[in-house]
Structure 1
């Protein structure tokens, strides 16, 4: 054997038990108690939890936006992922007019291959059907391992929005090819109306970013997306759910038996819209924005009762001087916040505090993402699957700071947040990439995950 992890409490989505895990050639080959096997390396995990690596299915690395590019590229973003216990990262290349899906993804794959510190996969954002030729390419994209396509119901002026007719065509084609449609749901016309009014009135602080995109702006689009998915009986994955009303509509559809999945993000679970009243409120500007306390409580309720399927980050950080572009005009603030290194520590801390179980944290951050997005070798500690493993010390408390994170940004919205317990080692396919606060992996070690279509 290459590696034997002994005496740890193995945590899956369904159970927890003390045991050993034997690993060879990057795969889990045996799980049991008191395994007597020869191994090149033995790790004693006594008193610690042994977890499947997290899968962050929502990141924007090296993403052009708002006149700049997100602060984390593929190297720093995946390095930070490894140091937070995330062993697979999904990125969102954006298809543009005249470009194909595979062409768009291949370009990003070529960028990622030499830099990735953990394994990686891609969704693809569809912004133009190119007179229908993009729909004809769905099957080729699925064969390439891209089995999810994102639509924006917002960013109309930026040329990224799809209208309802286009959305329905994508939903149908995705269903026919075994893919799933991801949705960013907000109403652009109402946002533009609100922005125009606020700017005319000289209301330009970060607080008005939230007021221009309040609960009802997201809720209307959530409900519209759910309506069309139900109408054509196609799978739908709603990204970064942040509002109570839209959440309730999606949950109701799930209970009716429709193939609807709901993602939320740690920032919506930790912060409310009150952050936009802070002096540094512009640093928290993302879309959708953090919402009110009622929505936050609804999200936590759905986390606890199983209605929310995944937690991911929408990781898209910018430097503080770039956020400062909007100090006097919220419309000039690049939208996005950090989170990739904080995802697993935050959710596991909530488990350590007793808010949810460790099994539920694993389900939300590893097992469900793997199932929904066709990562058959990822997401659980199972014989035959990739040895993507995190060792977690329940007694290691950490105060998050930009100084102890591993990204390239110069600030974080998580500054000063204390988490109870912390990952101490991360293994990707049996190889140690993070050890006691230090990245010890190799850029380019990460492999492309070719995903499987929905059956």
Structure 2
């Protein structure tokens, strides 16, 4: 054995129990008691919880958007992930007209390999089928380990949106090849209509970002995507669900037995649209925006009763001076907020406060994303799995500040948020990468996760 973590309470998605974990060659070799400690590094986790590392299935690292690039590249973004107990991140390379899937992915992989501080995987955004040639590449992409593709139903003017016919082609091809389609659902025509009206009327504050993309604008696209997926019996994963009406439609489809998965994000669980009335409201601008209290309540209810499948972050931070570009015109604000370092601590704090169980937090942040996206070596503390492990101190009080985060951004929407309990150690395949407030890993330790086809 190389490492033993002893005396901690192991938390899985279904049970909690006291046991020791023995690690060898980056894998969980045994779980039990009274392992020989001769010549083995030992970590005493008495009084603490031992959890599988989180999987943030939704990040945008080094992403060009809004005339700039997101503040966290692969080094700082994965460093921050490690320090929040996230041991695998999913990034979204964007295929553009004339480019293929594998070319797009491999160019991003070349950027990520020397910098990644945790393991990583990719969903590939499809923006143009290149006369359907992209569809012919799906099988090769799945064999490569890319088993999920994303479509935007929005960002028409930016050249990122797919129309309904293209979406159906992608849904069908993904189904055929054992992949799954991720959807960003908002209606661009309604958004553009609202924006034109607000700008004409001189209504330019961040509050009008929300009013240009209110609940029904997201709900219409949610319901359309669900309807199409149901009609052709194709699996669908809805990213960053934020509105009650769309949530209800997706839940209804799930209950009917359709393969619909729902992701939401911590920002929708913590903040409402009221933040856009604040002086610093532009810092909270993301798409879809935070919605009204009714939607937040519906999201929490769905989480508690097991109808939301995953919580991820849509991590896409920008510097404050870039957010300030839209101080007098909300359409110029780069869309996105920080979150990758806050995901697991936030959900585990919710568990510590009794909103959900610790088992449910593990299910949402680790076990379910591993299952849905084919990460067979991730997602649970099981013999033979990767030793991606977080030690969590439920008694540690922590206040989030830009000063104690590990990203490259200069502000955070989470400033001042108090958490009850916090991760104190993170291991990636048995390697200690975070220790009580300090990043202790090495860039380049992260490995590409080759995923298996969706069942």
Q: What is the TM-score of this pair, normalised by structure 2?
A: 1.00
Equivalent positions of 1:46-445 (< 5 A) are 46-445=46-445
Assess if the C-alpha contact under 8 Å between 1:11 and 1:51 holds in 2. yes
Assess if the C-alpha contact under 8 Å between 1:8 and 1:19 holds in 2. yes
What SS does the aligned partner of 1:38 have? coil
- Structure 1: 5+ residue stretches without partners: none
Assess if the C-alpha contact under 8 Å between 1:18 and 1:33 holds in 2. no
Q: 1:261-301: per-residue Cα shift (whole Å, max 9, x none)?
A: 00000000000000000000000000000000000000000
Q: 1:158-201: per-residue Cα shift (whole Å, max 9, x none)?
A: 11100100000000000000000000000000000000000000
State how many pairs are aligned.
455
What SS does the aligned partner of 1:130 have? coil
- Structure 2: 5+ residue stretches without partners: none
What is the aligned partner in structure 2 of residue 14 from structure 1?
A: 14
Shift of 1:40: 2.2
Shift of 1:438: 0.1
Cα distance in 1 for partners of 2:368, 2:118 equals: 19
Cα distance in 2 for partners of 1:4, 1:372 equals: 30
Assess if the C-alpha contact under 8 Å between 1:4 and 1:39 holds in 2. no
Q: 1:353-372: per-residue Cα shift (whole Å, max 9, x none)?
A: 00000000000000000000
Cα distance in 2 for partners of 1:112, 1:39 equals: 35
Q: What is the TM-score of this pair, normalised by structure 1?
A: 1.00
Q: 1:313-370: per-residue Cα shift (whole Å, max 9, x none)?
A: 0000000000000000000000000000000000000000000000000000000000
Q: 1:133-176: per-residue Cα shift (whole Å, max 9, x none)?
A: 00000001101100000000000001110010000000000000
Q: 1:16-58: per-residue Cα shift (whole Å, max 9, x none)?
A: 0001000000000100133335352000000000000000000
Cα distance in 1 for partners of 2:29, 2:260 equals: 34
Runs of 4+ that moved beyond 2 A: 33-40
For residues 39 and 23 of structure 1, do their structure 2 counterparts lie closer, same or farther at Cα, with a shift above 3 Å needed? Answer: farther
Q: 1:31-87: per-residue Cα shift (whole Å, max 9, x none)?
A: 013333535200000000000000000000000000000000000000000000000
Shift of 1:454: 1.3
Cα distance in 2 for partners of 1:257, 1:355 equals: 27
Cα distance in 2 for partners of 1:135, 1:362 equals: 35
Aligned-residue RMSD, C-alpha: 0.5
Assess if the C-alpha contact under 8 Å between 1:19 and 1:34 holds in 2. no
